[in-house]
Amino acid sequence: SLCAAAEPSLSYQELKDLKKANVLHIDVRERWEVDRFGKIPESINIPLGELMEALQMDPTEFKEQYNQKMPSKSDPVVFSCLAGTRSKQALGFAMSLGFS
Protein backbone atom coordinates (compact mmCIF):
# COMPACT_ATOMS: atom_id res chain seq x y z
CA SER A 1 0.00 0.00 0.00
CA LEU A 2 1.34 3.40 -0.97
CA CYS A 3 0.58 6.75 0.55
CA ALA A 4 0.59 10.34 -0.72
CA ALA A 5 -0.91 13.49 0.79
CA ALA A 6 -3.29 14.39 -2.04
CA GLU A 7 -4.12 10.74 -2.74
CA PRO A 8 -4.20 8.64 0.46
CA SER A 9 -3.59 5.42 -1.44
CA LEU A 10 -1.99 4.74 -4.81
CA SER A 11 -2.16 1.74 -7.07
CA TYR A 12 0.99 0.26 -8.56
CA GLN A 13 0.12 1.77 -11.96
CA GLU A 14 -0.50 5.24 -10.45
CA LEU A 15 2.90 5.05 -8.76
CA LYS A 16 4.56 4.02 -12.03
CA ASP A 17 2.96 7.03 -13.75
CA LEU A 18 4.00 9.37 -10.93
CA LYS A 19 7.59 8.13 -11.05
CA LYS A 20 7.80 9.24 -14.69
CA ALA A 21 7.01 12.76 -13.43
CA ASN A 22 10.02 13.16 -11.13
CA VAL A 23 8.38 12.23 -7.82
CA LEU A 24 10.72 11.29 -4.99
CA HIS A 25 9.83 7.77 -3.81
CA ILE A 26 10.97 7.02 -0.25
CA ASP A 27 10.75 3.40 0.87
CA VAL A 28 10.51 3.41 4.69
CA ARG A 29 11.03 -0.34 5.16
CA GLU A 30 13.99 -1.58 7.19
CA ARG A 31 17.20 -2.28 5.25
CA TRP A 32 16.90 -6.04 5.89
CA GLU A 33 13.44 -5.98 4.28
CA VAL A 34 14.83 -4.28 1.18
CA ASP A 35 17.65 -6.85 1.09
CA ARG A 36 15.22 -9.75 1.49
CA PHE A 37 12.29 -8.61 -0.66
CA GLY A 38 14.06 -6.35 -3.15
CA LYS A 39 14.51 -2.67 -3.86
CA ILE A 40 11.81 -0.80 -5.71
CA PRO A 41 13.47 0.77 -8.79
CA GLU A 42 14.30 4.47 -8.41
CA SER A 43 13.28 4.57 -4.75
CA ILE A 44 15.49 5.55 -1.87
CA ASN A 45 15.45 3.56 1.34
CA ILE A 46 15.16 5.62 4.51
CA PRO A 47 13.92 3.37 7.32
CA LEU A 48 11.06 4.93 9.28
CA GLY A 49 13.24 5.27 12.40
CA GLU A 50 15.65 7.53 10.45
CA LEU A 51 13.09 9.55 8.55
CA MET A 52 12.54 12.49 10.94
CA GLU A 53 16.28 13.04 11.20
CA ALA A 54 16.80 12.61 7.44
CA LEU A 55 14.13 15.18 6.53
CA GLN A 56 15.81 17.72 8.82
CA MET A 57 19.36 17.15 7.52
CA ASP A 58 21.45 19.70 5.77
CA PRO A 59 20.85 19.10 2.01
CA THR A 60 24.56 18.31 1.45
CA GLU A 61 24.52 15.73 4.23
CA PHE A 62 21.28 14.21 2.84
CA LYS A 63 22.87 13.89 -0.62
CA GLU A 64 25.98 12.24 0.87
CA GLN A 65 23.98 9.78 2.97
CA TYR A 66 21.23 8.86 0.51
CA ASN A 67 22.84 9.69 -2.84
CA GLN A 68 19.78 11.74 -3.78
CA LYS A 69 18.86 15.43 -3.79
CA MET A 70 17.00 16.32 -0.61
CA PRO A 71 13.33 17.10 -1.27
CA SER A 72 12.11 20.62 -0.61
CA LYS A 73 8.98 21.05 1.51
CA SER A 74 6.88 21.50 -1.65
CA ASP A 75 8.37 18.67 -3.74
CA PRO A 76 6.10 15.70 -4.48
CA VAL A 77 7.09 12.73 -2.31
CA VAL A 78 5.58 9.24 -2.11
CA PHE A 79 6.23 6.92 0.83
CA SER A 80 5.89 3.16 0.68
CA CYS A 81 6.37 0.25 3.07
CA LEU A 82 5.14 -3.34 3.23
CA ALA A 83 1.53 -2.97 4.38
CA GLY A 84 0.80 0.77 4.49
CA THR A 85 1.09 1.44 8.23
CA ARG A 86 4.63 2.84 8.20
CA SER A 87 4.04 4.88 5.05
CA LYS A 88 1.09 6.59 6.78
CA GLN A 89 3.34 7.34 9.78
CA ALA A 90 6.01 8.65 7.40
CA LEU A 91 3.43 10.95 5.81
CA GLY A 92 2.48 12.25 9.26
CA PHE A 93 6.14 12.89 10.13
CA ALA A 94 6.76 14.76 6.87
CA MET A 95 3.64 16.88 7.28
CA SER A 96 4.58 17.70 10.89
CA LEU A 97 7.89 19.04 9.52
CA GLY A 98 6.04 21.32 7.12
CA PHE A 99 6.06 19.21 3.95
CA SER A 100 2.97 19.83 1.85
Catalytic pick among 81, 90, 91, 94: 81
- Residue 81: active-site member: yes
Close Cβ partners of 46 (under 8 Å, ≥ 6 residues apart): 26, 27, 28, 54, 66
Q: By the 8 A CB rule, do 5 and 96 touch? A: no
Three-state SS string across 31-50, please? HHHHHHHCCCCCEEECCHHH
Tell me which residues are annotated as active site. Answer: 81
